[in-house]
Every structure is written in C-alpha cells, then in structure tokens.
Amino acid sequence: MNFKEQREKKAFLALANGSVFYGYSVGAPVDTCGEVVFNTGLSGYQEILSDPSYSGQFVVMTAPEIGNYGVNEDDMESRNFFAAGFIVRELNEASNWRSQESLQAALVRRNIPALAGIDTRTLTLLLRENGAQKAFICTSGKIEPNTAVEKANSWQGIDNQDYASVVSCEKPYEFNFEGFDGEKLPPADLRVVAYDFGVKYNILRSLRRAGMQVSVVPSKTSAEEVLAMKPDGVFLSNGPGDPSAVGYAIENTRKLIGKVPIMGICLGHQIIGLALGGKTQKLKFGHHGCNQPVMDCSSHAVEISSQNHNYMVMPQGIEDKAQITYQNLNDGSVEGLRLKNEKVFSVQFHPEAAPGPHDSLHLFKEFRKLILNSR
C-alpha cells in the first residue's frame, strides 16, 4: 500500500451537489462518472461488484473494512465486474484460504476505479438525506474539484437509460451447472428460457437446482423467438438502469403473458408491472443490502432479503390485474406481484442471494410448481 498517497489523499469523489470527499486510489487509474449509492452489507463485496445491476453506479460500502477475504472465481456473479466504481473506508489485504487475488488487484485488472480513506459514514448520511447522487471519481489528479462537480452535473445519469442491453449476453447459450463440491442436482425435466437483462449466475444455479435446464437469451430477443424454443416457462432476470427505458422488454413480456408461465426478479418484476400498464417510480436512495425485511402478505411471515434496485412498481393502476404478494417493511413499497388470471409472479428482491440464509429459496420451487400446474 502506498502510504504517501494515503496521507496526501489526492484522489476524490465529487458529487453533483458540490460536495467533495477526498481519499486515495485503490483501483484502476480511471476518471469517470457514475451514480453513487450505498450498500449496507457487511460482506459480499465481490458479488456486489460482479452484479450487472450496478452498471453505471458507484457503490459505497457502509461496513468500514472491506477486502479481508480477497476475491475468487467461484464467487463471481457474472463474467466481469460491472459497478462503475467502488468506495470504501478502509481496504484490507486478503487473508483467506479461498482467496485467489486481492480485491485491489481484481479492481485494477478489471479497470474499475476505487477510492479508500473516504468518510463513508458522512457520505452515506448525505445520500440518505439527499438521495442517490450523480458524481465523478478522479484518481488521476489532472482534474480540479470544481470541474469534476461540473462533469457530474452534466452527466446524463441512469434515468431513462437502457443499461440492460449493455450488460446482456450477445448470443444465446445453455447454462451448464453440475453443482459445487459433489452437490447432487435433481434431473432437469423442465426447460426454461431466461432473458438476460443482467442475470446473476446464482439465479441460474437456483433454477437448475429446482430441476430446470436454462437457456439464456439476450435482452432484445423477441417473444416469437422465445416461444419458438417451446419453453416450459420464461424467466425475466434482474438488471440495471431505468425499467421504463427497456420498452422492447415490456412489449415482449406483454406478448408472453398468457402463453407461458413467467417468473421475474428485480428488473424482471418491474418489467411485469409495466407490462400490466402500471408505472415505476425512482426511490430516494434505493434498496441496496442483504438485510431488507419483506413480509409475505398472505401469511404475514417475514423474510430477510437481499436487494439491489433504485426503482419500485407503483401499486396504482394494476390492482385489478395483480395482487401484491410481498411488502417492504422499511418503507411499505411493493416487493412482489402475482397475476390474478395468468400464471405469472415476480419479486423485487433476490431470493438466490440467500441472506436469510434460505428464507426465499422456496420461490424457485414455486416457479416449478406453477409450470407443472399449467400443463
């Protein structure tokens, strides 16, 4: 670690509101724009960085010490790191038998800028009070703070932007998973087509563990192409950006409803809400963390969920077509939908992330049951 850089704190994060936070660079030497959000997880930084849903965003970790257990290929949630930047209080050296490289080395190798030495407590409180912020990370020392603030303000942001097509796979592929460490999987007797809007690997693993063979298709694949594959069910994945900007996905979902059982997670949930004629609204600072309580509206059971989203489905306008199945206990927002007259359901949270640790894994079995009952 370069202690001279730590002392001088020449790198900085400039927010659109004029606030500047100084630190030192622990990632790639990149100057770039992004939207700043905070994540309340105590661990899971590799899964966060490799979650495509963070595309275009700088992630602030509220836990003070990050990097302790390093990085390894088994814990990747996608093919790369997709967060636009990473901000921590203190970056530690790796000390874990599973570690294959340090977090800093992984950030540099994947060209992701990162800052340490930041007062993340003050930054998080600012984001809670003022909402997610457009921002600019400067690691080069070649840009003045006032100029960086101007760059943050002039950046287009993530609203009305289609990030899903940017992170999606380019070609269809079969997801092959044989289990970890001798794990015995059930026969794959159902075939599901999964739309990749930024899908996480553990979602695909969870579908396979529920007895489904998964064919993954790019985000803009037409409904007609999907139906021609004769799937038993269709899965709409998580993904980044503004759900109202993926009009092609909304239209394809409208065409698929009533033709095949459908399950959606996160962005997939929002797409279903929009396909029903509903609307989405941006949350003040989003839900980002692995400790979000949600309530099953039928049983009133509470599940601890992992979440990563900036937008919510508004209940107005879809009451006659869908029932709300889950509710966020922190702010009352809609966390799940089930169509009244069609075999379609969705959740805003991530059951595959297992923060409970297994509170919500039953949802993949429910998808299987939904498919079997539709035959």
Q: Do 261 and 233 contact (CB within 8 A), yes or no? A: yes
pTM of the model: 0.96
User: What does the pLDDT average to over 300-316?
Assistant: 96
User: Looking at residues 39-46, what average pLDDT do you find?
Assistant: 95
Give me the pLDDT at residue 2, please.
Answer: 65
pLDDT value for 354: 79
Catalytic-residue membership of 352 = yes
Mean pLDDT over residues 148-169, rounded? 97
In terms of pLDDT, which residue wins out, 3 or 315? 315
Determine the pLDDT at residue 1: 54
Instruction: Give 314's pLDDT tier (boundaries 50, 70, 90).
Output: very high
pLDDT tops 80 at residue 313: yes
Contacts of 239 (CB under 8 A, 6+ apart): 52, 53, 163, 164, 167, 168, 197, 198, 199, 219, 246, 266, 267, 268
* Residue 359 confidence (pLDDT): 85
Residues 325, 296 contacting (CB under 8 angstroms): yes
- Please tell me the predicted confidence (pLDDT) of residue 8: 73
C-alpha distance from residue 192 to each of 62, 198, 212, 272 (Å)? 37, 17, 6, 17
pLDDT confidence bin for 355, thresholds 50/70/90: confident
Which domains can be identified in the chain, with CATH numbers? 3-154 (3.50.30.20), 164-373 (3.40.50.880)
Contact 367, 190 (CB under 8 A): no
* Mean pLDDT, rounded, for 117-134: 97
Vertex 263: Cα angle to 258 and 268 (nearest 5)? 105
* pLDDT at 375 > cutoff 90: no
- What is the mean predicted confidence (pLDDT) over 364-372? 97
Q: Which residue has the higher pLDDT, 209 or 1?
A: 209
> Which of the following is catalytic: 266, 287, 303, 335?
266
pLDDT reading at 228 higher than 60 = yes
pLDDT digits (tens, 9 = 90+) for 270-306: 999 999 999 999 999 999 999 899 999 999 999 999 9
Residue pointed to by tokens 């622990």: 26
| High-pLDDT (> 90) share of the chain, % | 93
Count Cβ atoms below 10 Å from residue 298 Cβ, excluding itself: 10
**DSSP string of 84-112, one letter each residue:** SEEE-SEEPPP--TT-SB-HHHHHHHTT-
pLDDT of 263: 98
Catalytic residue, candidates 287, 288, 309, 350: 350
64: Cβ contacts below 8 Å, ≥ 6 apart? 89, 90, 120
- Read off the tokens for 5: 């850089």
**Length of the chain, please?**
375
Average pLDDT taken over every residue of the chain: 96
What single-letter amino acid sits at 320?
D
CB proximity list for 56: less than 8 A, separation 6 or greater = 34, 35, 84, 158, 161, 163, 240, 241
